[in-house]
Structure 1
């Protein structure tokens, strides 16, 4: 077919018509004082509005990552169609987070040195009484986490001890009196997570760990005092529609706008910090985000803002997942989580990274984390290659206060979960009989196939594709804490060296 070239005049006419059409763009707006449904924008104005709307949506999405991540976890554990444990009860995982159990929980970057418990407590009607046992020297923690993924207290652990106690988790605004012998812990939000972790060295040690986990109990205050319990509420929360077989904290919604509606639902039920309400929330009204009001697309300032919110809702989880190297000291392909990682407060970027990649990760005094997904040449770690890394005997990040422990755990980069391997090994560390060099150093081999019988004790199997690792220190010693707070300490992290 013959195609005639348009004349320059024709090009100018088409371009002029396009500009004229764009200059008359009218965007749908709610009834607000700043504009109305007849407002028209020039092409330059449209570009500026798009840029600012996206910037605002990214900032709001960064804030929302934490409450949405916690909402998704709560729905999977307690309030969804098939709960693991109903509200005000604890789900006790029967074993370490094998790939199967990790997938069931949907819990991102799980620890494999402990057995977990998960319980979501609704403190609206009454306080919840938490009892913790004497573990007889076994390391365990009971972490208490708000709906903004802030750790606000512990019921057991390095700082509190392992002897056990009785605590009352008290919601905002409760005015009653507690029984004698019960320690009050004020929660910042209506819903909180009670998350036990009990150290288990190996499968022979599992029964002892399970006994401690069973000894961690919760009950309503009325039941504790032998009084009639308040009427149990009914819950009808929107079900997050998420991409399957990946951690729910990655925020991969089928409909990106559900990210925003869930954020506002979680926020309205669990109001944020006062400084957030006064200093940050007012600007989010352009996005239809206002405390006390449900999020509706028609309340967004205009269609330009709504379109940017759709884009950001789809991108925010993967975007945040790429940002851990911004928030702490790093070196040799590793990032050390910052000192405020478990309780970041108004540091919303750290909070978002914490929630997307390490939801309910601990306060640094109790445990800290060192992440790597790159080799010494800053290339993505991949199980199609082989690597080795060596910890010197003097490596401060692995120094613990007994009965604490350290470990290195392997994860699939895409799912953020543990991975199947031929020897069912997901972690190596102080619980293992690792071979040491003459100087006391420890070399760990990272590959998908055996490095040979003489090295298998130090072999941490990788998946076939991209992966990342986490060094954990539970009950860090003073030497480790000093390294954690030293901005230059990233240079002492072990090099992950490709090997032939």
Structure 2
């Protein structure tokens, strides 16, 4: 089962030179002249960077909506799945998941007709958001406290080629750039005793096909799709098989002409047929070098993303198609750093792997503290958190008190210092009963920390614009 970041982000580094055959069959099948060795390497590098978010997204969709035996299955397409709890170390399909807000998910198949998403009226004090993210990993719209308010409403999501009218009663129409798309819901949890209230809110989230919403006869269904199985070994064997598959549901946008033309030269894209087994060993090796080079570029760009502020990287990575504007490396960085992240206006995510001296965070070597000066907690309209992840997998870690984060709803139980500052204790062992309310358990290994500011304030002090705001996250200090 695909569970860890390296299963996707090192997706083509191993197992590529497994079989041999004739290159001429590929060129003949696609009516193209096969590129030279170095051209093939460059195409593989560019194609890997371009395709990484699409393949990561497909792997999650497969686990959540296709493979009922994946261990992570949520619900079939166009059906909502409300998670009754926040995520824990047992949830492994999504890297860097939040543990603040119980999720709800709808994987939408928009090929036959649009989908109508309905939300109930929600107390304005309770933050919620519905993030619409398509197969390109573009955040193409929001429903929720910040974006549309707390009133009840019906919203329509349409596919890339839909041209119908907007029915009465629909507040807003959102257009996905791909035929399969995700609606990810986040509903604020104020504490363990608030869970039943969250479930009541979730029960009010509804999804209907447009024909059902209008009480009309549904159109003929879309064709059945043979979704290719994806797992650790298969991804390592042939990354481009999955990209080739995903692209048939993603009509080319105007800024994709160049990269799509490159991919077509190696048989990747709608109407093409690419398979590594059709390549001689020397070409497989050139492709492998290109993909490995692409991965190195993504890794470096993740490490250097945004601006370094007290050891934290602060950036506004995720966004819509216009936000990326054909910058495929930026899009790949956003996916690898934390796929399905919010736009910075919805939530901003400072993250770090280093302490105040630039040394790698490692719970086996040091205890750490994070101290917010008095009156300088993260400035938000909603709430904030600091979440602990394993430094290698970017997954939540098992710990003795089942605490994966510290967030602002926990402040009443936490202890402030005499000067009004707040210190968090980041370490693998308890700092003692008196400090335990402020303890964020760490792994006995490398650490990845993510701060989340939900609906950050725009007036000073603010973390916005991301990387250039007036509020600065405090350093992680080794003890």
Q: TM-score, normalised by structure 1?
A: 0.82
Residue 279 (structure 1) aligned to one of 237, 250, 258: 258
Residue 161 (structure 1) aligned to one of 146, 149, 160: 149
For the Cα contact (< 8 Å) 2:160–2:251, is it kept in 1? no
The answer to whether residue 433 in structure 2 is matched with residue 444 in structure 1 is: no
Residue 88 (structure 1) aligned to one of 75, 78, 90: 78
Residue 115 (structure 2) aligned to one of 105, 123, 128: 128
Q: Which residue of 2 aligns with 1:326?
A: 304
Q: 1:87 to 1:339 in 2, by over 3 A?
A: closer
Q: Which residue of 2 aligns with 1:173?
A: 161
**In structure 2, C-alpha distance between the alignment counterparts of 1:235 and 1:120, rounded to whole Å:** 15
- Per-residue deviation at 1:425? 0.7
The answer to whether residue 54 in structure 2 is matched with residue 54 in structure 1 is: no
**In structure 2, C-alpha distance between the alignment counterparts of 1:55 and 1:377, rounded to whole Å:** 37
Q: Which residue of 2 aligns with 1:429?
A: 407
Whose Rg is larger? Answer: 1
**Could you report, residue by residue, the CA deviation over 1:1-21 in whole angstroms, capped at 9, with x for unpaired residues?**
xxxxxxxxxxxxxxxxxxxxx
Q: 1:194 to 1:340 in 2, by over 3 A?
A: closer
For the Cα contact (< 8 Å) 1:260–1:313, is it kept in 2? no
The answer to whether residue 56 in structure 2 is matched with residue 66 in structure 1 is: no
**In structure 1, C-alpha distance between the alignment counterparts of 2:292 and 2:204, rounded to whole Å:** 42
Alignment of 1:102-121 (within 5 A): 102-103=91-92, 106-121=93-108
**Could you report, residue by residue, the CA deviation over 1:296-324 in whole angstroms, capped at 9, with x for unpaired residues?**
33777x75443233455578668634532
SS in 1 for 2:208: strand
Q: 1:491 to 1:332 in 2, by over 3 A?
A: farther
**Could you report, residue by residue, the CA deviation over 1:313-337 in whole angstroms, capped at 9, with x for unpaired residues?**
5786686345323220113321112
**In structure 2, C-alpha distance between the alignment counterparts of 1:34 and 1:190, rounded to whole Å:** 28
Q: Which residue of 2 aligns with 1:194?
A: 183
Q: Which residue of 2 aligns with 1:5?
A: none
Residue 392 (structure 1) aligned to one of 373, 383, 392: 373
Number of matched pairs: 445
For the Cα contact (< 8 Å) 1:256–1:313, is it kept in 2? no
SS in 1 for 2:186: strand
For the Cα contact (< 8 Å) 1:383–1:462, is it kept in 2? yes
**Could you report, residue by residue, the CA deviation over 1:112-169 in whole angstroms, capped at 9, with x for unpaired residues?**
1100012110111011111011111211001111111110011223121121310111
- Per-residue deviation at 1:362? 0.7
Q: Which residue of 1 aligns with 2:196?
A: 207
The answer to whether residue 318 in structure 2 is matched with residue 347 in structure 1 is: no
Q: 1:481 to 1:51 in 2, by over 3 A?
A: farther
**In structure 1, C-alpha distance between the alignment counterparts of 2:135 and 2:33, rounded to whole Å:** 35
**Could you report, residue by residue, the CA deviation over 1:160-183 in whole angstroms, capped at 9, with x for unpaired residues?**
112131011111222333421113
Residue 292 (structure 1) aligned to one of 245, 267, 271: 271
For the Cα contact (< 8 Å) 1:196–1:213, is it kept in 2? no
| More helix as a share of residues | 1
**In structure 2, C-alpha distance between the alignment counterparts of 1:157 and 1:337, rounded to whole Å:** 23
Q: 1:423 to 1:330 in 2, by over 3 A?
A: same
**Could you report, residue by residue, the CA deviation over 1:5-61 in whole angstroms, capped at 9, with x for unpaired residues?**
xxxxxxxxxxxxxxxxxxxxx99444468868xx9xxxxxxxxx6555433322211
For the Cα contact (< 8 Å) 1:334–1:490, is it kept in 2? no
SS in 1 for 2:401: coil
- Per-residue deviation at 1:76? 0.8
**In structure 2, C-alpha distance between the alignment counterparts of 1:421 and 1:64, rounded to whole Å:** 35
Q: 1:490 to 1:329 in 2, by over 3 A?
A: farther
- Per-residue deviation at 1:492? 3.7
**In structure 2, C-alpha distance between the alignment counterparts of 1:81 and 1:207, rounded to whole Å:** 27
- Per-residue deviation at 1:429? 2.0
Q: 1:476 to 1:491 in 2, by over 3 A?
A: closer
**In structure 1, C-alpha distance between the alignment counterparts of 2:77 and 2:22, rounded to whole Å:** 44
**In structure 1, C-alpha distance between the alignment counterparts of 2:243 and 2:78, rounded to whole Å:** 22
SS in 2 for 1:388: strand
Please give the root-mean-square deviation of Cα atoms over the aligned residues, in Å: 2.7
